[in-house]
């Protein structure tokens, strides 16, 4: 077993909690908790690890460290992006963060939940330097729901 599973199982045994109790407190499925406790989930997401750690009344930071969850590097727009208005900058930064979090997969379909609620700027090839890019309303982007593994 890994250090994470040992850490989580020791807390589970110490607190005398069932899988269902941990799952309910962490707001995840019992299967997700079982997979974490048994080491089945090889790359759990930070939110799930923290939720389970909180349910077990142990350090979320230590659990995340043991899980080997890597935080995405902060994203800064290049200097050339100064031409964008604050709303456009916010949308782009949000999209890049979501791409980093989701491993490069961004859902734009209707099956995802939640809405970004902003338009996306379309930068057309051939736009002269210093000109404002044309803006069109794009389909509303929806972030991917987190998965329990």
User: Could you tell me the pTM of the whole model?
Assistant: 0.49
Coil, strand or helix: which one is 135?
A: strand
Longest dimension (CA), the chain: 66
Distances in Å between the Cα of 10 and the Cα atoms of 5, 14, 67, 83, 120 are: 8, 6, 15, 54, 48
Tokens standing for 5? 């599973």
Token readout for 102 is 């989701």
- Given this model, what pLDDT does residue 49 score? 92
Q: Could you list the pLDDT tens digit for every one of the 149 residues in the chain? A: 588 999 999 999 999 999 999 999 999 999 999 999 999 988 888 899 999 999 999 998 899 888 887 665 666 778 888 888 888 888 888 888 777 777 666 555 544 444 444 334 444 444 444 445 454 554 455 555 666 65
Give the per-residue pLDDT at 29.
Answer: 93
- Determine the pLDDT at residue 18: 93
Q: Which pLDDT score, from 0 to 100, does residue 98 have?
A: 78
Residue 40 has a pLDDT of 92
């Amino acid at each position: 077993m890994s250090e994470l599973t040992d850490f989580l199982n020791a807390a589970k045994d110490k607190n005398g909690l069932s899988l269902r109790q941990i799952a309910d407190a962490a707001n995840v499925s019992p299967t997700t908790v079982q997979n974490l406790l048994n080491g089945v989930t090889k790359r759990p997401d930070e939110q799930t690890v923290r939720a389970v750690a909180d349910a077990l009344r142990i350090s979320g930071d230590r659990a995340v460290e043991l899980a080997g969850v890597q935080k995405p590097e902060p994203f800064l727009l290049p200097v050339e992006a100064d031409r964008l208005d604050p709303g456009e900058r916010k949308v782009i930064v949000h999209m890049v963060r979501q791409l980093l979090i989701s491993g490069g997969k961004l859902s734009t379909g209707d099956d995802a939940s939640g809405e970004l609620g902003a338009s996306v700027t379309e930068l057309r090839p051939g736009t002269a330097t210093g000109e404002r890019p044309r803006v069109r309303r794009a389909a509303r982007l929806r972030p991917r729901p987190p998965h329990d593994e």
